[in-house]
Structure 1
Amino acid sequence: MARTDTVHSHAPEPLGVPTRRAAIKLLDAVLRRGEALEAALPAATRMVHGPDRGLAHAIAAETLRRLPDLDALIDGATERVLPPDAKARMALRIALVQALVLGTPAHAAIATVLPLVDGGPRKLVHGVFGTLIRGGQLLPEVPALPADVEARWAAAWGEAMVEEAERAIAAPPPLDITLADPARTDEWQGVLGGTSLMPGHLRLDEHAPVPDMAGFGEGAWWVQDVAASLPAQLLGAGDGRTVLDLCAAPGGKTMQLAAAGWRVTAVDQSGSRIKRLRENLFRTRLKAEVVQADVLAFAPNAPADAVLVDAPCSATGIFRRHPDVLHRVHPALIADLAALQGRILKRAADWVKPGGRLVFATCSLEPAEGEAQLAAFLEARPDFAVADAADRVLPGRYAGGNDGFFVVGLVRAG
C-alpha cells in the first residue's frame, strides 16, 4: 500500500520577511510589554543578522516616531477601528512607514509584510495599503505626540514646548561630542567640522561611523548630548578633590569629571554598562575607580568633596533618540521612579562633606523627576541649599535640538 503521509515543506521565508517579522516583535515588546526598544533588540532580532538587524531597528524606531499619524491614516481608511495590537494594524504600520518615510518602494513594502498576516486580515492589509498609497496619502512633516504625552507636557511646560518636541522627533538628532580638553575645541572643529555650542562641545550633522572618526581611537572625545554634559560642568575643576559619580555608566560624566581633574569613584549596578564604562575609560586614558554596586546598598569609605547623582528616571528627555519612551512611560512608572530617586538622594546626601557639593540630574521632562524632587529634598534636608539655580532644559534650547534634562547644584552647610 502506498504511503499517504503529508510531507511538510519548511521552505525559507521570502527575502526581507524575517526582518519585518523582527520589526513587529520589537513594536510588540515596546507597545504591549513596555520594554525599552534597545533592551528588546537582541531577542526580537535573533533570527536576523548584520544590516537586516539595523533595518528592523530602523523600521520599529521610525514607526514609534510616527505612530499617532500612522494610526490616523489607518483609521481613516478602515470601516471599523482595528484593535491597537491587531496583526493587521501592526503590518500596516510598518508597511506605511517604509513606503512613506524610509523610501522603500511600495510594492516591496507591502510584499514583505503580507506573509506576516494570515487569512482575512491579509486582504484587509493589502486593500488599505493600496487605497492609501494610490490616494497619495502622506504623513505630516511634523509628527504628532501621543495624546497622553501631549496633554502631560502641555500642562507642565505649555503648548510651545509641545510644538518644539514634535519638531524634535521628526528626524534622528545630530551627533554631539564632548572633548576631553575643551581648550582644543577650535582645533578639533577644524578636523571634524560641525558647530560648537560651548567650549568642549562639537555638533556634527553628517559624519562617518563614530569608530572611524579622527580622535575617537585616541580618546580625544566621546559621544554625549549637549544637555547631558551640563551636570558635570557645574562642579568645575577638580584640582585633585574627590567625587562620587552615582549611576555613572556608560561614563560620559565620569570622563568629564576625570578630565577636569577630579578623583572619581564611579558606581553603577549594571554589569554590561560597567563594561562599557571601563572600555570608555581605557580608550580615553582617563582614570577612575569603578565600583559595580546598587547605590541603595553601596557606602563609600569616606564622604566626598562632591557627589553627582544622575538618577534612574523615565528618560522621557531622550525621546529624540529613543522614541519608545513616548509609548511605554506612564504616570505610575514616573511615580515609581521618582520614589526611587528620593531614596537615592537621601543616601547620597550623607556622603557629601560639610561644605561640599551635590549635583542632582535626570534626563526627564517630568516635573515629578525634577522640580518636585528638589522641593521634597530641600524640605527634608535643611542642611542643603541651592548653589546653582535649578536648570530645566527643554527641547529646542540649543539650535538643532537637545535632550530634555533637569539639573541642580546644591551645597551642604559647612
Structure 2
Amino acid sequence: MAADHSHRQKNKDGQSSPKQKGDDILWPRKVALSLLQSFWEEEKFLDSLFESHGDFLKLSSRDRNFVRMMVTTAVRRSGQIEDIMRRGFSDPKQKISPSIVRYLMHLGIAQIVFMNVPDHAAVNTTVELAVRSGAKRAKGFINAVLRRAVENGKKWTTEQDIPRLNTPSWLLSMWGKDYGKAYAVEIAQASLAEAALDFTVLDPLDKEDWAEKLGCTILPNGTLRRVENALIPDLQGYNEGAWWVQDASASFPVKLMGDVLNKSVADLCAAPGGKTMQLAAQGAKVYAVDRSATRMKRLDDNIARTGLQDNVITAVSDGALWKAPEQMDMVLLDAPCTATGTIRRNPDAAWLKKADDVQAMVKIQRDLMDHAANMLKSGGVLLYCTCSLQKAEGEGQVNDFLSRHDGFEVQAIQPNEVPELSQAITDEGYLRLLPFYWAAYGGLDGFFVARLMKK
C-alpha cells in the first residue's frame, strides 16, 4: 500500500499535528464535530459544508457516508436529542459551556439512540473526542449523560412529542394555518423520514433494465427508487449519463408540460439541471437560465454527461432580467423558495430558514412570474412550481398572479396525469404534493405545481 498521508489535526495554536493513536476511529468523528459546529454557528447549509470541507473530502467513501449520516441525523433529530440530553442531566439547571460540549453530546446521542453504532463505541469515542477537542474538563459530565442515554434514551423517545420537538415552532404553526393541525403534524412526521435515492432514466424504454442494475423499484410515474444509500458517481451508468438523480416530485412539472418536441422552452432557475435534462431528452429546444455561475457549471457538467448539450443553450443570468431571444412556446419556472418540502433530504432547511424568508421568497417569485409572462407566445404554457410547502409560495402566489394577469387561465391538472395522487389535485386544479403521500412507496418531497396558459 502507498505511504499513509495521514489526516492531521490542529493543535491549540492552529498548527497541524500528526494523528495520534486511536485517530483511525476518532478522526471521522472529529470531522463530524467540525461540520456540526459550522452548521449551527455559521448557519451554512450541510450540502455546502460537505462539498467544501477539506477534511471531509479526504475521508474514505465509507467514512464519508458515516460522517454524513451522523451529522444529518444530529440535525434531523436535534430537538429529540436536546430533550434526551437534558433528561440525562443530574441538575436540570445545568449550563453547557463551551458550546462544543453540546455538539459532542448531540453526536454521541445520535449514534446511541438513532444509529446502529454499538453503545460502548459511541460513548468511548465521544468522551475521548472531548479530551482531544479542548473539552477535557467536561469529559465526566459527557460520559454520565451519554450513559444515561444508553440506559434510557430509546424509552424516552416513546414519551416525546416527536414532530413538535424536531420542527421549528414558526414552521409548524404556518403549516397548521395552511393545512390544519392534523395535517401539519403528519407533514412534520413524514419530513423526519430519510429520503430514498430517486432517478430519472435518460431513455424511458430502459427503465426496467436500470431498475435491475441499480437495485430500484419503479414508482407509478416511472421514477426509479433505490432505498439503499450509495455514492452517486460510483453507481453503474453514472459516467455514461444513463440517468440522473431527481426526486419523484421534481419530475412531475416537465411531465405535466405534455409534448415538448421541437418546442422552445425557457427553464428559468434551471440549475442543477434535472428538469432541463428531462426537457432536452424529449426533444425540446431549451434555454436554461440560472443566476449562479457555480450552479450553472453543475448543469453544464450534467448535460455533457448525459449527451444532451446540443438541445440546450445556457445563460448565467437572473431569470427576472433575462431577455429571451424569441417568444417562448413554454416557460418552466421552478422558483427559488424556502424549500420546506425537501426537509426529508435536507433537514438543515428546517433550522436555517426563518418565517421572514417566506415573504422574501414571495417577492422574488412574483417578479419572476411577471417576467415569465411577457416572454410567452399566445397559447403558450407557464408551468410554475416550487418545493415549498408554504401556501403563500404556491397557491397564494399563483392566485395573486392570476388577479394581475387576466390574460392567463389555469389548465387544470387531471388525475390520469398524476398516477395514484388524485388527492394531491386542489380545487383550483393545481398539484399540491405532501411528504406523506405515496407512503407505501416511501413518501416524496413536498411540491407545488400550477399549469397556466396564455390566452
So what's the TM-score if we normalise by structure 2?
0.81
Identity %: 31
Between Structure 1 and Structure 2, how many residues are aligned?
406
Corresponding residue of 1:250: 272
Cα RMSD (Å) of the superposition?
2.7
- Give the C-alpha shift of residue 182 in structure 1: 2.6
Q: Deviations over 1:106-149 (max 9, x none)?
A: 32233223432436433322222233324465563895332413
1:199-238 correspondence runs (5 A): 199-206=221-228, 209-238=231-260
Gap change, CA 1:276 and 1:133, over 3 Å in 2: same
Q: Which has the higher mean CA deviation after the structures are superposed, 212-221 or 402-411?
A: 212-221
> In structure 1, the residue corresponding to 2:217 is in which secondary structure?
coil
- Pick from 353, 361, 365 the counterpart of residue 385 of structure 2: 361
Write the distance in 1 (CA, Å) between the matches of 2:124 and 2:269.
47
Write the distance in 1 (CA, Å) between the matches of 2:98 and 2:321.
40
Q: Which has the higher mean CA deviation after the structures are superposed, 289-298 or 198-207?
A: 198-207
Gap change, CA 1:84 and 1:408, over 3 Å in 2: farther
Which is helix-richer, 1 or 2?
A: 2
Q: Deviations over 1:166-225 (max 9, x none)?
A: 443444222211122334434444544532223532212237643344443333321110
Write the distance in 1 (CA, Å) between the matches of 2:40 and 2:289.
31
- Give the C-alpha shift of residue 163 in structure 1: 4.3
Corresponding residue of 1:39: 48
> In structure 1, the residue corresponding to 2:157 is in which secondary structure?
coil
- Pick from 427, 432, 440 the counterpart of residue 392 of structure 1: 432
Q: Deviations over 1:58-115 (max 9, x none)?
A: 3221101110100001111222154698332222101111222233323223322343
Is 1:173 equivalent to 2:195 in the alignment?
Answer: yes
Does the 8 Å contact 1:238/1:262 carry over to 2?
A: yes
Write the distance in 2 (CA, Å) between the matches of 1:208 and 1:67.
24
Write the distance in 1 (CA, Å) between the matches of 2:57 and 2:127.
19
Does the 8 Å contact 1:238/1:257 carry over to 2?
A: yes
Letter in 2 for 1:395: P
Does the 8 Å contact 2:435/2:446 carry over to 1?
A: yes
Gap change, CA 1:323 and 1:208, over 3 Å in 2: closer
Corresponding residue of 1:110: 127
Corresponding residue of 1:28: 37
- Give the C-alpha shift of residue 45 in structure 1: 4.6
> In structure 2, the residue corresponding to 1:113 is in which secondary structure?
helix
1:140-159 correspondence runs (5 A): 140=157, 143-144=162-163, 145-148=166-169, 149-159=171-181
Write the distance in 2 (CA, Å) between the matches of 1:92 and 1:199.
42
Does the 8 Å contact 1:20/1:113 carry over to 2?
A: no
Is 1:132 equivalent to 2:149 in the alignment?
Answer: yes
Gaps of 5+ in 1: 1-7
Gap change, CA 1:354 and 1:31, over 3 Å in 2: same
- Pick from 70, 73, 98 the counterpart of residue 62 of structure 1: 73
Q: Deviations over 1:12-34 (max 9, x none)?
A: 46615554343333333333433
Is 1:90 equivalent to 2:103 in the alignment?
Answer: yes
Letter in 1 for 2:68: H
Is 1:196 equivalent to 2:218 in the alignment?
Answer: yes
Write the distance in 1 (CA, Å) between the matches of 2:405 and 2:97.
46
Is 1:403 equivalent to 2:445 in the alignment?
Answer: yes
Does the 8 Å contact 2:172/2:188 carry over to 1?
A: no
Letter in 2 for 1:146: T
Corresponding residue of 1:316: 340
- Pick from 314, 334, 338 the counterpart of residue 362 of structure 2: 338
Letter in 2 for 1:129: L
